[in-house]
């Protein structure tokens, strides 16, 4: 067993069945429908960032001499490429329920294409590191609050997000190390890009979440709307609060208070279940019990 979740970054070429003709409820977490909307909304722009990350790593890895970091960068590229493929499919599927989403999805794609074309190396690497701060922290938060957020959920979408969050934690230090390798004396810029990325994530998630709240009949009433937006605010707050240690000059993702050698038990069990050649493309309650007892 690894002694830390970042010790190994295996590439798992998973393809989830998201483009089928069968309807999937966008509010896939029956335990917490508001979490479904929040993470769905966040996931609209995530695959386009992941492709931005892949382009950034490929463009500048030639400047890295550290062989260990280079191998981790290659693994990160592999993991993120598979993430992007699957989440593009899920966004397309959600477009069947929310007709305004395809336009928002195209806007996100255009933003990252323009950012790569118009900005320079320092922005590319800095934004990647800043953004990865929150995919890593989100991974830890969601896995640590699994029972509260998705104990009862659609088997396929739950499987998709468990896999994604496990891997976001595994490679959570690579973009940080890549930035430091290129800009070892740019601590102020690193901190600035954390704030920049956080504001970008919140704004893009807000736009998609607003579409989803308007599109769901259960949120027509005032109290229901308040409940939905209260969850949005609280989860955004949790992400921001979890990022406070990131601003320390001594910070490294491996040493974040919520990421350590003890690891999350669901992540540990899922990795073991996968290594035993079990099917992780769906996780119904029976299979989740098998995962946790494997």
**pLDDT tens-digit profile, the chain (294 residues):** 457 889 889 999 999 988 766 778 999 999 999 999 999 999 999 999 999 999 999 999 998 999 999 999 999 999 999 999 999 999 999 999 999 999 999 999 999 999 999 999 999 999 999 999 999 999 899 999 999 999 999 999 999 999 999 999 999 999 999 999 999 999 999 999 999 999 999 999 999 999 999 999 999 999 999 999 999 999 999 999 999 999 999 999 998 988 876 678 899 899 999 999 999 999 999 998 888 886
What number of CA atoms fall less than 13 Å from residue 18's CA on the CB side?
Answer: 26
Q: What's the CA gap between 144 and 150, in Å, rounded?
A: 11
Residue 261: the pLDDT is 64
CA distances from 39 to 162, 216, 236 (A): 12, 15, 11
Task: Assign 153 to helix, strand or coil.
Answer: strand
Q: What's the CA gap between 190 and 178, in Å, rounded?
A: 12
Residue 180: the pLDDT is 96
Q: Residues near 30 by Cβ (< 8 Å), separated by ≥ 6? A: 152, 153
Residue 35: the pLDDT is 97
Residue 5: the pLDDT is 87
Q: What's the CA gap between 68 and 58, in Å, rounded?
A: 16
Helix axes 174-182, 67-94, angle to 10 degrees: 130
Rg (CA), the chain: 18
Residue 208: the pLDDT is 97
Residue 103: the pLDDT is 96
Strand partners, 29: 153
Element (H, E) at 55: helix 33-60
Residue 63: the pLDDT is 87
Residue 275: the pLDDT is 92
Task: Assign 243 to helix, strand or coil.
Answer: coil
The sign of the CA dihedral 244, 247, 250, 251 is positive
| Domain residue ranges of the chain, discontinuous segments joined by + | 33-261
Please name the residue ranges forming H helices in 145-245: 146-150, 155-170, 174-182, 187-215, 222-242
Residue 1: the pLDDT is 46
For residue 72, give the nearest of 162, 7, 166, 159 by alpha carbon. Answer: 7
Q: What's the CA gap between 270 and 225, in Å, rounded?
A: 35
């Amino acid at each position: 067993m690894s002694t830390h979740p970042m010790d190994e970054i295996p590439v798992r070429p998973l393809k989830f069945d998201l483009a089928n003709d069968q309807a999937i409820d966008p509010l896939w977490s029956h335990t917490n429908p508001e979490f479904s909307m929040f993470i769905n909304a966040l996931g609209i722009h995530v695959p386009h960032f992941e492709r931005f990350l892949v382009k950034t790593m490929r463009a500048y890895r030639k400047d890295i001499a550290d062989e260990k970091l280079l191998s981790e960068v290659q693994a990160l590229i592999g993991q993120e490429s598979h993430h992007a493929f699957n989440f593009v499919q899920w966004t397309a599927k959600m477009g069947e329920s929310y007709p305004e989403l395809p336009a928002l999805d195209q806007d996100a794609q255009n933003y990252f294409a323009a950012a790569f074309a118009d900005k320079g190396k320092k922005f590319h690497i800095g934004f990647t590191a800043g953004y990865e701060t929150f995919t890593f922290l989100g991974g830890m938060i969601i896995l640590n609050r699994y029972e509260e957020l998705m104990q009862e959920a659609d088997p396929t979408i739950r499987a998709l997000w468990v896999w994604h969050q496990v891997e976001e934690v595994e490679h959570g230090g690579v973009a940080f190390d890549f930035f430091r390798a290129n800009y070892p004396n740019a601590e102020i810029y690193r901190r600035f890009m954390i704030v920049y990325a956080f504001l970008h994530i919140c704004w893009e998630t807000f736009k998609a979440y607003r579409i989803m709240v308007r599109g769901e009949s259960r949120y027509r009433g005032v109290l229901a709307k308040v409940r939905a937006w209260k969850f949005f605010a609280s989860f955004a707050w949790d992400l921001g609060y979890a990022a406070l240690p990131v601003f320390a000059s001594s910070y490294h993702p491996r040493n974040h208070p919520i990421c350590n050698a003890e690891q999350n038990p669901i992540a540990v069990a899922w990795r073991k279940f996968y290594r035993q050649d079990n099917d992780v493309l769906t996780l119904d309650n029976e299979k989740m019990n098998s995962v946790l007892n494997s």
